[in-house]
Amino acid sequence: MQSRVEQIVIIGTGGTIAGAAGSATDNVGYKAGQLSVASLVAAIPALQAEPLEAEQLAQLDSKDMDHPTWARLARRVQEHLDRPEVRGIVITHGTDTLEETAYLLQRVLAPRKPVVLTAAMRPATAIQADGPQNLLDAVAVVKADGAQGVVAVVAGQVLHGLELRKTHSYRLDAFDAGPDGGLLGVVEEGVLRRFREWPRGEALGASLLPEDAARWPWVEVLASHAGAQARALQAWHTAGVQGVVLACTGNGTVHEALSAPIQALRDAGVPVWRTTRCAQGRIVGAPEEKAAALSPWAARIELTLELLKRTH
């Protein structure tokens, strides 16, 4: 007799893991999101005996991930998590915005069951396709005792949903654990070896995310750099931007040309958060900065969620 809590739901959103190219030796000239998630599962013999459900929620190149898809994904994941027979969720996703989707889902859902995002750096048609092993490893993490929270599994590494960052444009091991984190664990021959605690937190709730794109606040990211000019910030201000994240140089510094438009935004009630554009480290000595330890992309999501809470 089957256990009540054992079903694993695999939700497909597209990405390179479902991509196809005209040649098995072409790892970059492919089109993402061509294969169904059901076909990805069917191509892995080791998964055929598992109690799986495959569901296609989207077929996107993840560079084109959008707010309505995020809202639909969060709601659908929560619906499956609420089913007592579901052990956990696997989401197949593109690598370009994997870290953003993982961050959002952990903050919104903070699930007590595992939600595992996985992806690939090579299309499904490649000689060295990495998607099948990543998907197999993701299922292994869902089945691990005590697993919970949103994590990502890529190249045998298990990464915290609030910390992972894409750090390489081409290699199969394209993700890292962020500047001050570390791997949650590794998957070795189908067995999870865990190093840290699972993600935990307070769920904001999937209902916070509007399915209507027009109801999301407009939050942008601007990098400070040599020769920066005020015009971009001034134009955003005029156009009605509702929040800005600054990807600052070094330890949270910004070009002097940006000082006046930043102050004008703040005087108008538009939040402007600082983070660093550096790959390692955080802004030190600025406890008032809410984004001091976040990547610019995570900070943008965090500010977006804060603005949504104000109108919810």
Q: CB neighbours of 294 closer than 8 A, spacing ≥ 6?
A: 275, 302
Q: Rounded to the nearest 5°, which phi and psi values hold at 118?
A: -140, 160
Residue 13 among the catalytic residues = no
Task: Please count the residues of the chain.
Answer: 312
Residue 279 burial (CB count, 10 A): 11
User: Taking Cα atoms as reference points, which of 174, 75, 179 lies closest to residue 134?
Assistant: 174
Candidates 13, 16, 125, 276; catalytic one: 16
In b/e form, how buried is each residue of 56-92, taking b as 16+ CB within 10 angstroms?
A: bbbbbbbeebebbbbbbbbbbbbebbeeeebbbbbbb
What's the CA gap between 246 and 2, in Å, rounded?
52
Q: Which two tokens stand for residue 297?
A: 């992309």
User: Taking Cα atoms as reference points, which of 33, 94, 102 lies closest to residue 297?
Assistant: 102
Is the Cβ–Cβ distance between 152 and 117 less than 8 Å?
Answer: yes
Provide the 8-state DSSP code for 118.
E
What's the CA gap between 300 and 298, in Å, rounded?
5
- Tokens 């108008």 locate to 268
What's the CA gap between 155 and 168, in Å, rounded?
13
Is the Cβ–Cβ distance between 1 and 81 less than 8 Å?
Answer: no
What's the CA gap between 293 and 276, in Å, rounded?
8
Q: Which two tokens stand for residue 308?
A: 């949504």
Which residues are the active-site residues? 16
